[in-house]
Structure 1
Amino acid sequence: MQPDYLDTRQLEAFIAVMSIGSMTGAAKALGKSQPVITRLIQELEQELGFSILHRNGPRIAPTEQGVAFFAQAELFLGGLRTISQRARQIEKAQARPIEIAAIPALAASIVPLALCDLPQEQFPHHVHLHSAASENVVQAVVARTADVGVASLPLDNPGIDVHWIGEVPCVAVVADDDPLAHNDMLRASDLQGRRLIASANPYRLRMRIDKAMKEHAIEPCGVIDSNATYVSLSLARKGLGVAIVESTTIAGLPIDGLKVLPLEFHIPFYWGVITAIGVPLPTTVQMLIAAIERRAFDLPQFRKHVNLPSSY
């Protein structure tokens, strides 16, 4: 009896088509003919039992199910590449690579600083830093395609070990020619009638931003949802609104053309450093986790929690 596994060639063809946008482009990237790519996609759809691509002549677009499947297929193939790389490292008796998954805010700030702290003689030959949403960071750690993850709260998965939880206050960011740029602090009344730029995920930081807006009876004139802090900074730089962001990204990205204002009211941002439960950690990974903690203490008003804060 044949095992009910999907063909990795089909998955590779699908990911290439999704990434490039055409059968022809995917064929060139994979060194195959266009009919071969078409056949692999058709066979994959037969295996799955649903369509993953809309076809309109030469134009293609993913179906809703195709978009959902793409995230899982990409995670799976990423894991296979990791396994392959580690096998080659074992064969050559080389130091194993470090796989890091982190949310964009910390992938662009704390993690690079922590990597700088690793001794050169123990620095891995290969480091893969993958920036992803918290949900995908947790998935990568649980699937063991990432050695260590840095994700925002909530973190409630039986497959992960939360080493510690960090907290920093959120700040406001406006364009340097905004009238608020002359202030030394942003007060709740300053947001009244202004457009707000904030995290889009309603179950993480946005939940605490919305709570603060309600507690202080703030009614913005509109909201721009953003899926990453650096996007919020770009929107604020163009004068499109007042961005409420976690302060970690400020440590890693240029803020030219922007004014950062502390908030009169407190909106905490929480994140955790995680690994897969029950998995022995190589020395280099332990050193990286310790370096992340040291660098976190350089952040203004950083607080370390062993457990989830009661105020969360």
Structure 2
Amino acid sequence: MANEKSLTLRQIEVLRAVMVAGSIAGAARILNVAQPGISRTMKHLETSLGIKLFTRSGGRYVPTPESQQVFLQLQEVHKKLLHLQVSIGQMERGHDVEISLASVPSIANVMVPRAAAGLKARYPDIRMNIEILKIEEAIDFLLLGKGQFVCMSHRFDHPSIVFEHLAVGNLVCVAHRDHPLARLERVTAADIAAFPLIGIDPADPYGAILAEIFARQGLDFRIEIRARFGTTVLGLVRQNLGVAVLDNFTVAELHGPDRDIRLVPIAEKTPFRTYVARRSDLEISGFAEAFIALLRGEMDAVTRRGFS
């Protein structure tokens, strides 16, 4: 020890155990250690402190008069340690912690709830505030301090916002089970463009991701019904009003048999990146980092699994 008269937490534990039990054997049982270790610690303490801490009376260890004040302080230290342990235990459960975040709908509908379930399993008492935003609303959400981060399918330049990689997704064709494309094992962009589409406005940043599959090949396509969100697009496809191109995160819970909808892989490569946006001048909490890690894991798993 740097100071010979300072006490370690372990020595405090031993002293209190002997005081409470009144014997070396009793203290060893309380601490679940061997008696010789307790005896050695006691001898070392009395030697280093230069005072006699206990006397033997009727086979019991009784605090000496000069050590009474030490033991009063010792009890206070023990209480504070117990309170600290309780606080740490509450923190481990997320007690009195709330994280606020936002997400664009394509990530919020399926992926965010999965990550939230993982976070609640790890921190049962944590509270979450989750908002669904349009891409253009992310700036106000972050700069006005409404939340720590936003899950995005698009990035832009802003001096006060940084974007970090979240996951790579891809696109899939969504068709009603009775549609001609639903009978194919794989479709091309040209196959899809031959039919009326249900989709998001290509002028929208997210709609541009979906339209890029056609733009790369110079294909004309007809969006006969425009809808703002992927969940609405799925509802329209269920009515067999056209086919759609959606991201794998939006349709993740449709993987496998579905009564009305079939997911058909697209032959062309259709990767796109997603991001976590946060303020550049603020660090996010460890709980927020845990959420992002869980979300990234869920999204990566969906992309690895694919739809073929």
Where does structure 1 lack aligned partners over 5 or more consecutive residues?
Answer: 1-93, 303-312
Q: Could you tell me which of 294, 298, 303 is aligned with 1:300?
A: 303
When residues 124 and 275 of structure 1 are mapped into structure 2, their CA distance, relative to the original with a 3 A threshold, is: farther
Range with greater deviation from structure 2 (141-150 or 263-272): 263-272
Q: In structure 1, what is the equivalent of residue 263 of structure 2?
A: 260
> Pick from 274, 277, 292: which aligns with 1:289?
292
CA distance in 1, matches of 2:221, 2:214: 9
Aligned counterparts, 1:181-200, within 5 A: 181-200=182-201
Report how many aligned residue pairs link the two structures. 210
Distance change >3 Å, CA 120–CA 209, structure 1 → 2 = closer
Q: TM-score normalized by structure 2?
A: 0.61
Corresponding position of 2:12: none
Superposed displacement of residue 286, structure 1: 1.5
State the secondary structure of the residue aligned to 2:301: coil
Q: Distance in 2 between matches of 1:245 and 1:108?
A: 13
> 1 CA distance for matches of 2:220 and 2:226?
16
Partner SS, residue 249 of structure 1: coil
Kept in 1, the 8 Å contact 2:161–2:277? The answer is yes
Deviations 1:67-107 (A, max 9, x none): xxxxxxxxxxxxxxxxxxxxxxxxxxx62321111011111
- Name the CA distance, whole Å, in 1 between partners of 2:99 and 2:145: 12
* Counterparts of 2:242 and 2:140, CA distance in 1: 33
Cα displacement string for residues 133-166 of structure 1 (whole angstroms, at most 9, x for unaligned residues): 1111332122210122101113322222222142
Shift of 1:122: 2.5
Q: Find the counterpart in structure 2 of residue 99 from structure 1.
A: 100
Q: CA RMSD in A?
A: 2.5
Which 10-residue stretch deviates more, 183-192 or 172-181?
A: 183-192
Output one character per residue of 1:181-204: Cα deviation in whole Å (capped at 9) or x when no partner. Answer: 111111233224311122225142
More divergent stretch after superposition (105-114 vs 217-226): 217-226
1:9 maps to: none
The answer on 1:245 being equivalent to 2:246 is: yes
- Report if aligned partners of 1:212, 1:267 keep a CA contact under 8 Å in 2: yes
Equivalent residue number for residue 73 of structure 1: none
Larger Rg, first or second structure (1 or 2): 2
Aligned-pair CA distance for 1:224:
2.0
**Structure 2 gap segments, 5+ residues each:** 1-94
Cα separation, 2, equivalents of 1:132 and 1:112: 15
Cα pair 2:114 2:298 within 8 Å, conserved: yes
1:119-134 correspondence to structure 2 within 5 Å: 120=121, 122-134=123-135
Which residue number corresponds to residue 230 of structure 1?
231
1:220 positional shift: 3.4
Distance 2:122 2:214 in 1: 49
In structure 1, give the amino acid aligned to 2:103.
A
Pick aligned residue for 1:279 from 279, 282, 286: 282
SS of structure 1 residue aligned to 2:112: helix
The TM-score with structure 1 as length reference comes to 0.61
Q: Distance in 1 between matches of 2:125 and 2:202?
A: 34
Distance in 1 between residues matched to 2:199 and 2:158, nearest whole Å: 26
- The one-letter amino acid paired with 1:189 is A
